[in-house]
Every structure is written in structure tokens, then in C-alpha cells.
Structure 1
Amino acid sequence: MTADILLDVANLGKSYGNLDVLKNVSFTLQRGERIALIGPSGSGKSTCLRAINYLAPPTAGEVRLEGQVIGRCLDGRRMTDRELAPQRAEIGMVFQHFHLWPHLSARDNIALQPRKVRGLTKAEAAELALSLLTKVHLGHKANEMPHRLSGGQQQRVAIARALAQRPKLLLFDEPTSALDPELVGEVLTVIKALAAEGRAMVLVTHEIAFAREVADRIVFMDGGRIIEEGPARMVLDNPQAPRLKQFLASLSERERRDG
């Protein structure tokens, strides 16, 4: 593995009983690179993200972050949650649904993890949380409870919470899919700003225009497999696989209908 490779996903498989959700999925991510996973519903994109940080432990293959196998000890034994915690702290994940603690303010939602995982004091964690809320343009909402925030605001708090871990890698699982259309832009703007900072990301998204703008590479999945991958604009403007051509054409047709 070269020094520039941050994430190495090798021959990843995930099965639920007789259902193979991931089949021999392999790709690497360089430091500072952004990869967008696209494909139809049920293609395995979200499962792939969950396997990367061991929320869905793979049944085959392995994931390495900076050369270290995620979720497995040197003797091959599966890590306990306690053993896995330091690895997960290096990977920030933002979900479709925000999963904020309903009884904590926006600031406290962000401050909790740095205190538990990074050992920050209460004051240090609160200061960090406020700075991250300001970063996502929500400094004025620090004391608000989640139910008093819009969906877009809640997702931006969730992004700030992921950043509070000071992760080496950010995972986004369709971060705008649960939002009303008028709120999508504010979340995408924040993600674009993070991408401009050179943060390493793997994004599952159905926003193809956004993927074209933000991602360095596109990975198209269908049926649990990678069908095509390559530089974002090349893959989207000149797809080679018939299934990808069909997928992009269906999205264009849907946009014309909805427009």
C-alpha cells in the first residue's frame, strides 16, 4: 500500500442469509480524494458505507484505513465494540436521517462525542462544538433543541457532530434524501465547502449534478457489484457500461418529467 492511500476496500462481500448484498467490491481512496457511490436503490451503496466503518461487518474481504484492518485484531479475531471505538473515531459518518439526541441541544449533541472519545473537558468540547456550528452556519442555533430545527439545520448539526471527531475520513449516506427539496441546497453547500478543504470523503448520493461537481471519482454500483468507475466527468459524460447508460438516461427522463 502506498503512503497516499487512505482507504483500501478489498474484495468486500456482505450477505444476509442467502442474500448477497455486496459482491467482491474493491476500490481505494487517496488522501484528500472524494469518491461518489451512485446507482439504483438496492445496489449496495449504503451497505458498502456501513461495512467500511463496521456498522455492517463484512462477510468477506476487508477494509483498511491507513493500512490497519478495520474491525479485526492482528490474530484475526473480530474486535469488541470497545476495541473498535478508536477506529470508528477516525471515520465520521453522516446518515440519511439525522439521529440527533432529542434531549440535547445542538451544541451538546456535538460536544458529547469529543468528551467521550477524545477526552476533551466539558469546556473544551463546548468551545469546539460552537466553532463547528459556526462553520456550518448555525452558531446562532447552539442552544436550540433538535425539534426546533428544520431538517436541513438538523443535518448540518449532524455534519458538525461528525467533524467533531476530527476524523480522517468522512462518509455521507445520501445526506439530502430525507430533506424537503428547498432545504437540499444548504446541506450541499456545506459539503462542498468541506470538499474544498481537501477532506477525504466517500459519498452515497442520488444528486448526480452534485456528484459531478464535488467528486474526483465516480463508482457506479448495481446488484451489489461495481459496474464502472473512473474520473467523475468522464464516467458521467461518457459512460461505457450499458447499465450505467440506462441508469443515467432514466434519471434524465425523470428530471424532464418532474421539471
Structure 2
Amino acid sequence: MDALLSVAGLRKSYGPVEVLKGIDFSVKAGEKIALIGPSGSGKSTCLRCMNFLETPTAGEILLDGERIGMRNGRLMNDRQLAPQRAEMGMVFQLFNLWPHLTVTENVAIAVRKVRGLAAKEARELALDMLAKVHMTHRADASPLELSGGQQQRVAIARALAQKPKLILFDEPTSALDPELVREVLNVIEELADEGRTMLIVTHEIAFARDVADRVMFLDGGVIVEDGPASAVINTPREERTRSFLKQIRH
């Protein structure tokens, strides 16, 4: 099967500090990949380079055969990038909801601006996506009235509303109190069961093992190990992977 997403030679530097040192991988349609590794290993930077929220220093990213972020050898601006970014729904650590808009309006606003949907159609789509994340009952609430877990579920609905080809999750539970983590993971699991393509940066190792098809372990800006989720987590080949997982489990 051809790759939906292809990443080749991805590098990212901030001044003299090279955070990504040549990342290569591909993702097939319907595949779920978890990125794990210590803080500062480059996981979130890798994800943010996918849709040019961070501009790569070098490398090429293709989504469905189309190069992301570049046109005729030149960097795209934000307006040109908007349709490509919509193809890769992004769910952040922090929810980034507009406090002056209702839950439904938060989900609908992006599809109105990027996809050009009429207000009525955008609202109907927003309500459908809120149903997927079990938030219809708070459709008219302000984000300020919601728990962190509820806000993150609205953020997931917002990403889904764009009908993306894949969804990027950047540590979606790291800003949540422990008792709220499970409700967000449950929603992500339900989306995974629908066959959606996902890249998930997470510290939830058991979740990665149970939900992902593949796990990539990043450290020092390189992919140290990449393989089936159960194999990487239960019987890692690399000593560095084993050391990291041992620390996580204690």
C-alpha cells in the first residue's frame, strides 16, 4: 500500500542546536503510530514540522503525494498553507479554544474560514463532530465552563470537522489532571477503531501499546527504534529503548 504520509531527511535546528537530525518514516492510510521518548527528544517538534507550524531546516514531507509547505521551490505563506494544514488535523497539549465563542462555534469557525462552509452547514457539521466526542450536551456552553478533559474533547471535534486525512495529537493528555486523562484517551481509542490515520505523541505507554499499530522511539533527534507497538514496548531491541521504558515504569 502506498504511503499516505512520507517524511524524508527531516531536520530542524534552532540556531546551533539541531533538534531533529534526519528523520525518515512513512505512514499508511489507517495506520496509528505513537511517538514516545524522553522530554526534549524531538517528538513534538517532529509533529509540528509535519504541517509547518515549525519550518523544517531540511527535508521533505509529502501528504498523498503533495509536498507540504513548498510550492515551486518556495515556502508557502500561512494563507497558502491553510488548506494543507486542514488535511492534517492538529490536537495540541493546550486546547486553544476561543473563550468568547460557544463550544459549537469553536468547532464550526475553522471550517467556515478554511472550507468556506455556510453558517448553517458548519453548525450541523460541528454538532455531528461533538457527538463523536460525546460533547453534544455542552454544545452551547462556553469553554470556560468546561473541565480540561471536556475542552480537549472539543479540540478533537474541531480537528475532526476539517475531515483531515490524518490527525496529529501532540501529547493530548499532558495538561490534564490524572482523573481526566482516561476520558480523552477513550475518545482517541474510539477514533482509532474507526480506522483513522493518526500520529500520537504520548507519555501514556500502555495506551500506545494498546492503540497504536506502530511505536517510534525518539531520542536525541533520531528514531532509535520503530516497530510493532507490542514488540517495541514489551521486547525492545535497543538498549536505549529498554532503559527509557524501565524508567517510565518505575
TM-score range, shorter chain: over 0.9
Q: Secondary structure at the match of 2:167?
A: strand
Cα drift, residue 117 of structure 1: 1.1
Map 1:108-123 onto structure 2 (within 5 A). 108-123=105-120
Q: 2:35 aligns with which of 34, 37, 46?
A: 37
Q: Secondary structure at the match of 2:226?
A: strand
Cα drift, residue 132 of structure 1: 1.1
Distance 1:76 1:100 in 2: 34
Structure 1 spans left out of the alignment, 5+ residues: 254-259
Please state if 1:212 is matched with 2:185.
no
Q: Secondary structure at the match of 1:175?
A: coil
Q: Which residue pairs with 2:7 in the alignment?
A: 9
Q: Which residue pairs with 1:50 in the alignment?
A: 48
Cα displacement string for residues 56-76 of structure 1 (whole angstroms, at most 9, x for unaligned residues): 010011111011110000x21
Q: Which residue pairs with 1:152 in the alignment?
A: 149
Amino acid in structure 2 at the alignment position of 1:42:
G
Cα drift, residue 26 of structure 1: 0.7
Map 1:163-174 onto structure 2 (within 5 A). 163-174=160-171
Distance 2:8 2:231 in 1: 24
RMSD: 0.7
Distance 1:135 1:107 in 2: 13
Q: Which residue pairs with 2:177 in the alignment?
A: 180
Q: Which residue pairs with 1:72 in the alignment?
A: 70
Cα drift, residue 4 of structure 1: 2.6
Q: Which residue pairs with 2:220 in the alignment?
A: 223
Percent identity of the aligned residues? 64
Distance 2:26 2:123 in 1: 35
Give the structure-1-normalised TM-score: 0.95
Cα displacement string for residues 144-197 of structure 1 (whole angstroms, at most 9, x for unaligned residues): 001100000000000000001010010000000000000001000000000000
Q: Which residue pairs with 1:244 in the alignment?
A: 241
Give the structure-2-normalised TM-score: 0.99
Distance 1:134 1:199 in 2: 17
Cα displacement string for residues 11-70 of structure 1 (whole angstroms, at most 9, x for unaligned residues): 100000000010101100000001100000000000000000100010011111011110
- Structure 1: 4+ residue segments shifted above 4 A: none
